[in-house]
Amino acid sequence: MKTRLASLAMLATSVVALSAISASADQSVRPILDKFPGRTAAQAAADKIVKARKPGAALSTWNGGFKDLNGTNRTFVMVGPDPAKNNSTTTIPFEVVPVVLTYSAFKNQKFDPSKDKYDDGETVVDNFLNSPLVKSNVKWKSGGQKLGKTQYIDAFQRGTFWGYGVSKNSNYHVVLGSPTVMEPLKITVSSGQGVVETNPFGHQQIGTYGFGPMDTQINNYIGSHSSITPDTFVFFITHNVFLTSGGCCIGGYHYSTGSAPTSQSYGYTTFVTETPSFSQDISAATHEIGEWMDDPFPGNNVVGCFDNSWLEVGDPLEHRSDYGDFPLKVGTFTYHPQDLSYIGYFGAPQKWAVKSQLSFHGYGTTICPGQ
């Protein structure tokens, strides 16, 4: 949502009314995460369908709040139970949808995360499923404090509320469940809807596709698959595909079909298989899953920051030259999760977070402008 301008120029795609796309030369390239689609007819239709599915379901959430540094009361909705009142593990059912794009105007070139591989021979989907976003395969520390061997986003959440309740409720965890990989969403990109070109942040071939059309495809998929219910988190993934909206390049976003816990929360990200690059391996996925955890129904969690009107924990750090990523070797593969901002950045009591830090990895050192 907040972006860093790049000096690169490329043959980019632009979206007209978020539906018709045409190539446009010499357009600035911006790495973008969390552009929000607004409320659309496709979302409203999907929302009506998921709320009618039986038995009725709702995402596990809790309501909290704080008085910010300007004296304004802020409220929020987050995934899981209140860490000051719970001392157990909450598991969120997790569904993963590979998105396959075929470019008919470019010799039917296909980008398929279930088949496309990293240099080590692992497919994009398998690499994600083996990553510390999904598996509890890393012993995490923040500010020197041990946070446990768990998923990264759970460790981050434990860190952000360490002084609020987790230090006493040491068994508190909110984790994604064993993932269900669903049938792929298949999209044929015809002439004028997207292009295949060189990654503006690297050297591999990437595809582009419209942000609005992708969100419509996602909501249509949600509406047509009865196993997707509001108590689950459904995550759509592509390989080497950037979304476009008035220019390139959107690496991911998260949203919901409506604003209630009975609405369906969902996310999308692309996994770029070269390093370094914007949206490399789990970088964008970290951003989107972390922000889903702390803002599952965007628009509800309003904060008083000039750079961030919503409580979006990845945005404050993505402007860095490394996009806020830090290297993390797990087995033989080096992942690049993104550092995430603790709640003190947004004007909440800094003592809530472990060691009163402002971010998990320590990149964040200042409170947001406006506080």
pLDDT digits (tens, 9 = 90+) for 145-168: 999 999 999 999 999 999 999 999
Q: Are 156 and 79 contacting, i.e. CB atoms less than 8 angstroms apart?
A: no
- pLDDT for the residue 318: 92
d(CA 224, CA 203): 37
Q: Write down the pTM of the prediction.
A: 0.92
- The reply to whether omega before 368 is within 30° of 0 (cis) is no
pLDDT tens, residue by residue, 230-245: 999 999 999 999 999 9
Q: Are 304 and 370 contacting, i.e. CB atoms less than 8 angstroms apart?
A: yes
pLDDT tens, residue by residue, 253-299: 999 999 989 999 999 999 999 999 999 999 999 999 999 999 999 99
Ramachandran sector of residue 5 (left: φ over 0; alpha: ψ -120 to 50; beta: rest): beta
Tell me if residue 356 falls in helix, strand or coil.
helix
- pLDDT for the residue 12: 29
Q: Are 255 and 215 contacting, i.e. CB atoms less than 8 angstroms apart?
A: yes
pLDDT mean for each 10 residues of the chain (371 residues): 31 29 49 86 96 92 98 98 98 98 97 97 98 98 97 98 98 98 98 95 97 97 97 98 95 95 96 96 98 96 95 94 96 97 98 98 97 96
Which residues, 6 or more positions from 245, have their beta carbon under 8 angstroms from its beta carbon? Answer: 15, 18, 35, 210, 211, 212
- pLDDT for the residue 216: 97
Q: Where are the domains of the chain?
A: 53-356
Is the four-CA dihedral 33, 237, 126, 261 of positive or negative sign?
A: positive
